[in-house]
Structure formats: C-alpha cells, structure tokens
C-alpha cells in the first residue's frame, strides 16, 4: 500500500507523530553527526528529519515518490523538494554524500531498483541510512501509523537487500519501543520506554535502522566453466562440404 503525502504530513503534525519524529530523529542525528559541508538527500517522506541538518549541510534535497505525492519543503524559502520516479532520479552520478531513506522501502514496488539508483548517485564512500518497519514489532501490525503500511522487514531481509544492491551494512539500530497509541499516559512514558528499550536491546522496537556504505566493486563469484567444444559426429558415408572424394 502506498502512503499519501497528506496522510504522512497529518501524522507528523499529531502528538504521536511528534513523538515519533523526536525518537527516530535522535538516531538519525547520531548516525549523521558529521555532515557539515555535505550534500544530503531524503528519499520517501524524510522532510521531518531533514530539518535538523539545515544550517550544517551544504545542500539538502527531499525526493518524494510519484505515487506518494509531494509537498513544498522547506516551507520558508526556495523549495528543495521534488516529485520523482524512484528508479530514475534527476541527479548525476556520484553527487550526494548522505542519503536518508524513510517511508520508502516498505512501499516501493521494486525496492532493489530504488537502492540501485541511490547507489548510483552516492559518492564513493557515501553512506545511506535506511529506516523500515520492523516485521516483529507492534507498529508494523497496526495500520494507524505510516509504519503499519507496506512491507515490514526483518534484519536478515534488510541485510540481503542491502548486499544485493552493493551496499555494505556498517551499523544497525532500533527505535520506537513505546506503543503506537495517542493516549497521554503512553506519550508521557514514551521517553522512559525508549531509554530502557535501547539500553537493554529489548525485542519490541517498531523500526529498524541500517546504515550502509556504498560498495565500489561487485564481488566476483565463481563461474561455471563453459563446456568444451566437441567435434561434430561424422555420419557414415558423408564428407565435409567442399572436399571431393579421393
């Protein structure tokens, strides 16, 4: 199921959405701590998390899938958002230092094509941080938040997806240990749940983080040897064309 940009914006404007932005944003900021003078691209609906890099990054862009829709971002100033086809991004090769993928992998029709295009535009040694709903988490089981839509992932599924697209996973993380409910008690106790869940690595997290580096060379696998050429069988009483009988 594809998420609509209006629904995504409404979610992040809600109390639950603001709590989500806070706790997911803390992990994003920690992973992309050194980004001064770098180009950062958000793919999917990353606008709420790109705000924290304004003033540090050299360039910020927000690419939103055509099936999702697009909003103007940032609200003040020239727009840095664009509606794109995820398999054909309007950027040259090796021009982006960091890519943040959120609300994109789980709804992409062809996630490998999306990752292949991200690989193309990343600089050598460039890094991608992908956020996806955790298959075993409560957030993926309820469709009351954006993380309950589309295809959730396990860690092994994300690892295989990254390696197929020539990315080397370097860091893993989780977040959203609190329940995805709007109740005041839930939201008030959310910071405690996040602190305990992260410290003890509890199994109830709602989203997975994987930071991966662009792999420059495709691993060389073993190839089966081509079968040796065999002489054509000679049929009794025939001779190769062009040779007269002796």
Taking only the tens place, the pLDDT of each residue in 206-225 is: 999 999 999 886 554 433 33
Indicate the CATH number for domain 5-213. Answer: 3.40.50.150
* Residue 218, pLDDT score: 56
**Calpha distance 40→28 (Å, rounded):** 12
Give me the DSSP letters along 185-226.
HHHHHHHHHHHHHHHHT-TT-SEEEEEEEE--SPPPPP-PPP
**Global confidence as pTM:** 0.86
Q: Where are the domains of the chain?
A: 5-213
- Locate 91 and state its tokens: 């950027």
Taking only the tens place, the pLDDT of each residue in 75-94 is: 888 899 999 998 899 999 99
In DSSP terms, 146 is beta-bridged to none
């Amino acid at each position: 199921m594809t998420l609509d940009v209006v629904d995504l914006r409404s979610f992040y404007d809600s109390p639950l959405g603001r709590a989500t932005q806070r706790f997911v944003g803390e992990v994003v900021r920690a992973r992309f701590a050194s980004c001064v003078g770098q180009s950062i691209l958000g793919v999917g609906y990353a606008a709420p998390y790109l705000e924290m890099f304004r003033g540090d990054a050299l360039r910020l862009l927000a690419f939103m899938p055509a099936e999702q829709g697009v909003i103007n971002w940032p609200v003040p100033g020239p727009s840095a958002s664009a509606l794109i086809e995820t398999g054909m991004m309007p950027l040259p090769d090796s021009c982006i230092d960091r890519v943040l993928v959120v609300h994109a992998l789980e709804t992409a029709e062809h996630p490998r094509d999306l990752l292949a295009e991200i690989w193309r535009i990343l600089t050598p040694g460039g890094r991608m941080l992908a956020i996806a709903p955790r298959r075993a988490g409560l957030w993926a089981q309820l469709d009351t938040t954006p993380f309950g839509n589309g295809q959730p992932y396990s860690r092994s599924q994300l690892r295989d997806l990254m390696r197929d697209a020539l990315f080397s996973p370097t860091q893993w993380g989780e977040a959203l240990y609190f329940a995805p409910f709007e109740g005041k008690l839930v939201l008030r106790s959310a910071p405690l749940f996040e602190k305990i869940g992260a410290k003890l690595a509890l199994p109830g997290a709602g989203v997975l983080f994987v930071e991966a580096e662009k792999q420059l060379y495709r691993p060389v696998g073993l190839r089966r040897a081509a079968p040796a050429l065999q002489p054509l069988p000679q049929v009794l009483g025939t001779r190769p064309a062009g040779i007269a009988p002796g």
